[in-house]
Structure 1
Amino acid sequence: MITRIEIDGFKSFLNFVLDVPPFLALVGPNASGKSNLFDALGFVADEITGSGGLLSAGRGLPAEQFHRVARGAPVPGFAVSVEALVAPEPGAVLPIRFDVGAEMVLRIPRSSGAVVSHVAHHLPEELLEFIVEDPEPGVTPRRTVQSWHRYALSPQAMRCRCSPAERGPLAADGRNLAAVLGRMAGSAALADLVADLAGVVPDVVALAPRLDREECAFDLVVDGQGSVPSALLSDGTLRVLGLLTALHDPDHPGTLLVEEIENGVHPRRLGELLRRIRHRIAEPGGDRPFRQVILTSHSPVVVAEGYRTDPDALIFLDTAVRVDPDGDRVSRVTVAKPIQPDGEPGTFVSPRQVRRYLEAAA
């Protein structure tokens, strides 16, 4: 479970620090840094697993991962640190810290300005620091970051059939949904999944995973309609089903990173979806497989639900122009604004501002 994120020099972040609870909703306007935050976590995961965070970046070329400035010297590199809790064995919870980064070496070519000539994308093993001694060197770090699952679910992908040999967690786009449901068939986890799905999508009676010509498929049983093949389900129903499937999967607990959770969900049902997600949150070391959810949203429903149930789990991301004390560097950076009753202007979001946001969006 991720507990703290520190980012300096990566994309829109400079000296950025965020404490992360088991459930966190990141709300903010477009281009405020929500996706960049998930990109930073992806960079850490790629570095730890050995694939190389810059070379495998999903958005942008290697040089474009570095913070961009409007005026002044470019940043020489960036660092991303993630603190997390891991459970190496039942009943044991240990803190762990990942410190990774990259440097940019500049040269002046004959043509024009400075360009990237070299990127240090792989750090020596000794730079991977642990708060405690790792009980399984080389195993626990990789397993920890592999439990961070980022989802941008594609209904088209989730309608597809797939091989029953797929035993991994739900894919980022959900393309192996039928195989995951097949693996869960007959379990208490599938029954719990159906109960939560019925709370969000009315009239759902059951899920029916099946094998058809040696391929995994599934039907959704709806009251008054009978079995509906996955190919005929609506985009919104599939997105809700995919998210809840990842949340209930008993074999692959972890942290779910969900972008724009409101996509395809009716506003009247979104609050119920959030309540059911929160009910499934479990910290490491307990009786249930641990579940953490970090989501991004533009929806006032998410703001209202978070403000009503747990203001500490609601963070507003925004951007601000930052001028270094010496005045040599000017750039736009991401800032996190928690809800607080008072404080220095511009450093927090007050309950009154939240109410105004909700009233304006109504």
Structure 2
Amino acid sequence: MITRLEVDGFKSLREFTVDFEPFTVLVGPNSAGKSNILDALALLSRLATRPIEEAFKQGRGRSIDQFTRWRGEAGRAIRFAVEVLLPDVVESGETVARSHRYRYELVIERRARPTGAEHLVVRDERLRVLEREEERLPDPGAELASPERTAHGGQDVFAQRFETKFGRRVAVCATPEDIHYQAVHTHTALASLHQRLGDVLQPLTPGEGVAEPQGEQSRRGAGVVQRRAIADRRLSGPDPWRERISAVADELSSFRLLQLDIGRLREPSERIGTGALAPDASNLATVLADLPAPLLGEIRAELVALVPGISSFHVEPEGDSFHIDFELSGGERLPARLVSDGMLRLLAILTVLRGQPSSAVIGIEEPENGVYPGRLRRLLTFLREAALEQRDGAPVEQDASAPIDAAPIEQPRWAWPPQILLTSHSPVILAALRSAPQHIRFIDTVRRDGQLVSRARRVAVAPGTDRGRLTVSLREINALLDAAGSEAAE
């Protein structure tokens, strides 16, 4: 689960920090930056597995528009830091303790070529295990990280730096086991190491620099080749750092963002699908058609519990597509184009929760849209319970004979229920969380150096308990509820 996100230079997020619970609701007015937080997580998710420029191009807006603008000019760099808490896993039939918190830091920079064109490169990158005293679940009174806390401490899993080799500077990732890895410039080191891109390098002797790449080995003799073979064996073996890299990359890349498009939800979806629900849920019917019967039955039962008057739904073939029909309690069937927006949204949300591949982190934008307030309360309760199921690190069974690398990225070995992050400006959701304010992060904007930027605040549970911390009071939350009208007041 993601416990902390720090961003500087992405859209409205400048020197921004937010701590997450297993279930977190980002509330605040429109244009406060709530969606930008989920967009930042989505970008990090893509950067964990895909080429850098592809990861940016698949975001909302042009690549350059994702850099914070200052006085009309786009910034030169974006800094990310994310802290991840991982559960234990089962390997070779034994439980492996992995429940540490990891901190992954990344700086992406725009650099100009002589032609005037620009490209995106990694300026700095590091993955480390946090020190024991920092390994904790977030709590409502937790203090925000200081630069001093995040600048040192813990053990590096890898750190990317530049070294001079053969008269040119190359990016090299160094691990505690003294394996050096020449990073691929098109990917982050996290993605490169996870997918084994580029060259594995190892020092000849301490302080002597890194070994030559493949093209130089034929001129240098067998010694370097032998060292490369040793490094290759260590990279493919069960090294602790290798497992940590894969685990963190899996956790980040599993993030699923739902930005539902009702128009697309009403249409049939083509039979050829990727397996995962698309962010706009346009392939919902195909995903449902591909689910095992037990999972489909769970989703049906949960939808019926949330929507009185519905007895079931059916996924039917239609030429080269699938469409969804909803069955009413009286036996009448309605196609998706005739049911309410809320029902389609509920079905899409249930599918991303229960479907396959499973996700470690799920972001849902404005689940209240089109959903009747009474049903919205039940949905919120359902989502909260789904995220807060027992998180005891219980292992998940898997094939003990399969190597770590055998499991594809789309099938991670989660031992915990999904972490759920919502954005909302609904007074109904705010009212429902009055008794559980630890799940609320209040997002608004402040003017800093003449620029409007986003900030995140916790709810102060009791007066005087959060002195010196960035908080919002329950009185301010109540004022927001009152200003929104009596719809949510109880």
- The two structures have a TM-score, normalised by structure 2, of 0.63
* Structure 1 residue 103 corresponds to structure 2 residue 109: yes
Q: CA deviation at 1:21?
A: 0.7
Counterpart of 1:332? 452
Helix, strand or coil: the match of 2:52? coil
Q: Is 1:144 matched with 2:270?
A: no
1:348 aligns with 2:471: yes
What amino acid is aligned across from residue 5 of structure 2 in structure 1?
Answer: I
Correspondences of 1:1-362 after superposition (within 5 Å): 1-52=1-52, 55-70=56-71, 75-87=75-87, 89-90=89-90, 92-94=97-99, 95-105=101-111, 118-119=118-119, 121-123=120-122, 127-131=125-129, 133-136=240-243, 139-166=246-273, 168-187=275-294, 189-213=295-319, 215-281=321-387, 282=389, 283=391, 285-286=393-394, 290-308=417-435, 310-323=436-449, 330-340=450-460, 341-342=462-463, 347-361=470-484, 362=486
Is there any run of 5+ residues in structure 1 with no aligned partner, and where? Answer: 110-115, 324-329
- Deviation of the 1:227 alpha carbon: 2.7
Amino acid paired to 1:357: L
* Aligned-partner Cα distance in 2 for 1:185–1:235: 26
| Cα distance change on mapping 1:171 and 1:284 into 2, 3 Å | farther
Report if aligned partners of 1:162, 1:215 keep a CA contact under 8 Å in 2. Answer: yes
Between the aligned residues of both structures, percent identity stands at 31
Deviation at 1:351, TM superposition (A): 1.4
Q: Comparing 126-135 with 224-233, which one deviates more in the overlay?
A: 126-135
For structure 2, list consecutive stretches of 5 or more residues without a partner in the other structure. Answer: 130-156, 158-239, 397-414
- Whole-angstrom CA distance in 2 between matches of 1:106 and 1:182: 47
Pair 145,284 (structure 1): closer, same or farther in 2 beyond 3 Å: farther
Contact 1:219 1:228 in 2 (8 A): yes
User: Residues 212 and 332 from structure 1, CA distance in 2 versus in 1: closer, same or farther, beyond 3 angstroms?
Assistant: closer
The structure-2 alpha-carbon separation of the partners of 1:137 and 1:352, relative to structure 1 and needing over 3 Å to count, comes to: closer
Q: Report SS of the residue matched to 1:294.
A: strand
Cα offset, 1:332, TM superposition: 2.1
Q: How big is the shift at 1:57?
A: 5.0
Cα distance in structure 1, aligned partners of 2:255 and 2:326 = 28
**Closer/same/farther in 2, CA of residues 97 and 164 from structure 1, 3 Å limit:** farther
Q: Is the 8 A contact 1:220 1:228 kept in 2?
A: yes
**In structure 2, C-alpha distance between the alignment counterparts of 1:285 and 1:216, rounded to whole Å:** 38
DSSP 3-state at the match of 2:441: strand
Moved more, 148-157 or 163-172: 163-172
CA distance in structure 2 between the partners assigned to 1:229 and 1:74 by the alignment: 46
Kindly indicate whether the alpha-carbon contact (under 8 Å) linking 1:154 and 1:239 is maintained by their aligned counterparts in 2. no
The residue type equivalent to 1:217 in the other structure is H
Q: Is the 8 A contact 1:196 1:276 kept in 2?
A: no
Contact 2:107/2:125, CA 8 A, preserved across alignment? no
Residue 422 of structure 2 aligns to a residue whose secondary structure is: strand
1:353 to partner: Cα distance: 1.8
Which one has a bigger Cα radius of gyration? 2
Cα distance in 1 between the residues matched to 2:74 and 2:312: 56
Q: Indicate conservation of the 8 Å contact 2:365/2:424, yes or no.
A: yes
Query: After superposition, what is the alpha-carbon deviation per residue over 1:255-289, rounded to whole angstroms, capped at 9, x for unaligned?
Result: 11111111111122211110011121144834776
Residue 85 of structure 1, CA deviation = 2.9
Check the 8 A contact 1:162/1:217 in 2, yes or no: yes
Give, in angstroms, the shift of residue 35 of structure 1: 1.4
Q: Secondary structure at the match of 2:51?
A: coil
Match of 2:168 in 1: none
CA 1:284–1:235 in 2, change beyond 3 Å: closer, same or farther?
Answer: farther
Residues 46 and 253, structure 2, Cα contact 8 Å, conserved in 1: no
The CA distance in 2 between the partners of 1:134 and 1:168, in whole Å, is 30
Worse-superposed segment, 35-44 or 338-347: 338-347
Deviation by residue 1:101-133 (Cα, 9 ceiling, x = unmatched): 2224589x9xxxxxx8634x2428x82414255
Cα distance in 1 between the residues matched to 2:468 and 2:479: 16
Normalised to the residue count of structure 1, the TM-score between the two structures is 0.83
Q: Distance in 2 between matches of 1:154 and 1:173?
A: 5
Amino acid at match of 2:8: D
Deviations 1:147-170 (A, max 9, x none): 101111122322333455535221
Question: Aligned pair in 2 of structure 1 residues 302, 345: CA closer, same or farther (>3 Å)?
Answer: farther
Shift of 1:139: 4.2
Change (3 A) 1:230 1:15: same
Aligned length, in residue pairs: 344
Q: CA deviation at 1:213?
A: 4.1
Q: Distance in 2 between matches of 1:272 and 1:127?
A: 42
